[in-house]
Structure 1
């Protein structure tokens, strides 16, 4: 029997240039245990991916701000403070950095994403002055969000709804927003491209990067083996 999974998307199910790796559609559709997609992306993205994989939508989106399981969506994050911080950031000359692409934040319900090449120092200064938000760097964006939600708590909610102990889950991730998921699940794997925070929190740091690392985990679990990597 394979274990239930909690998988990040960006940096974990993707190629180095940010495309969804096609092996996702080879390995995950027939996975015989629940698959939770736990991501910093806005809610529609993981829901769509779950649908294309043929799995029920079991989703932690917006870094725990939105959780969906058993056809029920729960919005846990409060967008008021993050949006106020972004307004102050823009008033002080900041730029979200997405150019004309309004889709990055169009469907976000609980947080605001700022491009990784934006003025991080100014963003963090404004956020610190507010005091009611945190800035999470995923490598793909700076997420301005409530500190009261995270992906680990979202996973725990889904596990409870499914009647599964959260420690039964195996999780794979690459960023600081995956640390709470690592702490909630039973076994945590960081792909080799993971940031320092995720690497320090993982049970195993894999030898391979991006989807290559995730493939190594999935294939090993299917074979009843342990993936190659540095155990902590």
Structure 2
């Protein structure tokens, strides 16, 4: 039997332009063990990806702030944590950067994502006023409470699935994947990963993005 699989989306399942390669959806669907999609995105995005891939909806969203498994929703972060930051941002010289509709944050419940062309020092200063941390995922600055993480959420999901977190193999690319890679028993960073993810992973792959993910699943199968 292969290991249960925990995998990030952006930068890991995606191409460099953030589109999804159909081959990774096939790999997820064909995986003969539980698959958990773990992302910084809001909950609807990984749920939709699971539906389109044809796998059970087992997801970690908002960098561990929310998890969904076996028709049960877990709030692992404070659903009001970013409210004060959001109010302060309304009075700042910049906004979150996603336009009036703000589809990035519309369904986000435990954190707020700020576009990376906004001033990081100012984002951090505002966040610190509300005792919040800022995680740079390479796609956005995520303003959140310090405690929730993908790794902590994986422990919750694993318990619901009746397996140990160390039984998982994990694949990621960014600083917000560090705890996930550390909690999993087997961990891989794709070649485009940042220095934090590479340092946390057992193996740094030669291939990038979705190609790196496919290389990881081949290695996981070979070790089964």
Normalised to the residue count of structure 2, the TM-score between the two structures is 0.96
Q: 2:7 matched to 1:4?
A: no
2:102 is matched with which residue?
A: 102
Instruction: Tell me if structure 1 keeps the 8 A contact 2:7–2:36.
Output: yes
| Long gaps (5+) in structure 1 | 227-232
Could you say if the C-alpha distance between residues 81 and 109 of structure 1 is closer, same or farther in structure 2, counting changes exceeding 3 Å?
closer
Q: How many residue pairs get matched?
A: 224
2:139 is matched with which residue?
A: 140
2:179 is matched with which residue?
A: 180
Q: CA deviation at 1:225?
A: 4.7
Secondary structure of the structure 1 residue equivalent to 2:105: helix
- Listed as ranges, the matches of 1:29-178 within 5 Å are 29-131=29-131, 133-178=132-177
Aligned counterparts of 2:101 and 2:195: Cα–Cα separation in 1: 30
Q: CA deviation at 1:101?
A: 4.3
Q: 2:18 matched to 1:22?
A: no
Q: CA deviation at 1:79?
A: 3.5
Aligned counterparts of 1:101 and 1:196: Cα–Cα separation in 2: 33
Normalised to the residue count of structure 1, the TM-score between the two structures is 0.92
Aligned counterparts of 1:83 and 1:193: Cα–Cα separation in 2: 33
| Long gaps (5+) in structure 2 | none
Q: CA deviation at 1:11?
A: 0.2
Aligned counterparts of 2:75 and 2:148: Cα–Cα separation in 1: 10
List 4+ stretches of structure 1 deviating above 3 A. Answer: none
Secondary structure of the structure 2 residue equivalent to 1:94: coil
Aligned counterparts of 1:220 and 1:146: Cα–Cα separation in 2: 35
Secondary structure of the structure 2 residue equivalent to 1:10: coil
Instruction: Tell me if structure 2 keeps the 8 A contact 1:174–1:195.
Output: yes
Could you say if the C-alpha distance between residues 25 and 176 of structure 1 is closer, same or farther in structure 2, counting changes exceeding 3 Å?
same
Q: 2:217 matched to 1:218?
A: yes
Instruction: Tell me if structure 1 keeps the 8 A contact 2:169–2:220.
Output: no
1:229 is matched with which residue?
A: none
